Amino acid sequence: MTTATSAAKAVGEAAGKATDMVRDSVKTVIAASMVGTAIEFYDFYAYGTAAANYFPHVFFEKSNPTVALLASLLTFAIAFIARPLGSLVFGHFGDRLGRKTTLVVSLLTMGVATFLIGCLPTYEQWGVFAVALLCLCRFVQGIGLGGEWSGAALVATENAPENKRALYGSFPELGAPIGFFLSNGTYFLLEAFNDEQAMMAWGWRVPFLLSAILVIVGLVVRVHMEETPVFRMAQERNEVVKAPLVEVFRKSWKQVLQATFLVAVTYTLFYTLATWSLAWGTKTKENGGGGLGFTNQEYLLMLMISICVFALFIVLSCVYADKIGRRRVLMFSSCALVVFSLLFPFLLEGHRNFAQVLTFLCVGFALMGIAFGPIGAILPELFDANVRYSGSGIGYNLAAIVGAAFVPTIATWLSHNWGVHSVGLYLGVMAVCCLVSVATCKETKDVDFTK
């Protein structure tokens, strides 16, 4: 009788474990994890483009163009400051209630705020109150974004086979070039068929309003996906903690710091390439740019070409990260970025030199892909399953403050006062910080991801 009972219990446990490890289909995992990051980068780059080109005229005084540009770029920073708060809130519920519900709420929060930005009155209509509303929408957008990436990364990696976690982790990372391409493409088409006056009057609103389509698609996918097998297993083992944030800062504060500086340089690089360089390449020196002589449409086209390089190198870096380990790939990208930071300013000199600027963008985004790709795997792998949402989310979103919040503003100020080479030094410092962080990390390729 005892033997039969033990056998039945063993069969029950095995069946339970098999049930726990039932995964969503690869298509569902790709869609559910990729769509949120695509919307994140679509929203953020739509805002970055508008902040660099339209908001200085729409929401701020026009008496001093450089001051208006700097003020506009400061509103860009608000969402980054809000993101760690969002990661604390959504991380808590993601580790307590599960990945699925939390991701649905974060996507809805982010989407509503982005849509409302497209509905705001201008400075001429409501004065300072319009700026206050812009800042409020940007803050709420940041709160929603704070819970987005880490949850998407967990949906991908917690559904992945053990030897393909970095490849699956590339799914949310690929959302970045997709969102970037969609945003750039939208502005490119708008500017192709509308003059500057029309863009100032209503054209800048269109990308924010169109984001509602992406949000609806994302909600449909996420509502129908399953909870991740790793979280279901943690529930089955009663390993879900009541206060995941306390556990993270008590046991894993070192990993939070490592995660922050692993990601920070990718943010600095991205917004140097995508936001600061757009203003530098298209604006005159009197308006805070570099006087390179490109039209906005020309520069957007070069960015769209280079973003394809970004996507390619995300996948390649993740394939190699599964083969040779995360540390080797990130060590290479950090060292290469130090060299790039010293050399790229020479490519941003001269007037309307398409070859030089396209080389700057393509090489920069290739290195961005190498540095950004393995992040989707290594950040979740630094933390235990029961605090993984909180830990990876806090690290990722602290990096948004350290590496991105003030990048366009700082880079604009540096280049305006000290020249373009000072922007290279700024990026080089962030690359060295990443290199130190990689050096202090253990290889996570073969960790037991269920624990």
Q: Rounded CA gap, 9 and 437, in Å?
A: 46
To the nearest 5 percent, what fractions of the chain are helix, strand and coil? 85, 0, 15
What is d(CA 373, CA 313) in angstroms, rounded to the nearest whole number? 8
CA–CA dist 389, 372 (Å, integer): 18
Residue 190, classed as helix, strand or coil, is helix
Burial of 107 per CB tally in 10 Å (0-12, 13-18, 19+): buried
Residue numbers of the chain with a pLDDT score lower than 70: 1-25, 62-63
18-50, pLDDT tens digit by residue? 344 555 667 788 888 888 788 877 887 788 788
Q: What does the pLDDT read at residue 4?
A: 42
* pLDDT of res. 241: 72
The pair of structure tokens assigned to 64 is 């001093």
pLDDT tens profile 261-303: 999 999 899 889 987 888 888 888 877 778 888 998 899 899 9
- Overall pTM surpassing 0.75 (yes/no): yes
Instruction: Name every residue whose Cβ is closer than 8 Å to that of residue 95 and which is 6 or more positions away in sequence.
Output: 240, 241, 244, 386, 387, 388, 389, 390
Cβ within 8 Å of residue 440, ≥6 positions away? 258
Write down the pLDDT at residue 65: 77
Distances from the Cα of 116 to the Cα of 38, 142, 143, 186, 208, angstroms: 19, 14, 15, 18, 8
Q: What is the pLDDT of residue 70?
A: 79
Token pair 């990260």 is found at 321
pLDDT of residue 21: 52
For position 63, what pLDDT does the model report? 62
Which domains, and CATH codes, for the chain? 25-238+249-440 (1.20.1250.20)
Cβ contacts of 251-258, under 8 Å, gap ≥ 24: 251/387, 252/382, 252/383, 252/384, 252/387, 252/391, 255/382, 255/383, 255/391, 255/395, 256/391, 256/394, 256/395, 256/398, 257/395, 257/437, 258/382, 258/395, 258/437, 258/440, 258/441
- List, in sequence order, the alpha helices (H) in 97-238: 99-117, 123-126, 128-146, 148-157, 165-193, 196-201, 206-223, 229-236
Q: Residue 436 has which token pair?
A: 């130190």
DSSP state of 66: H
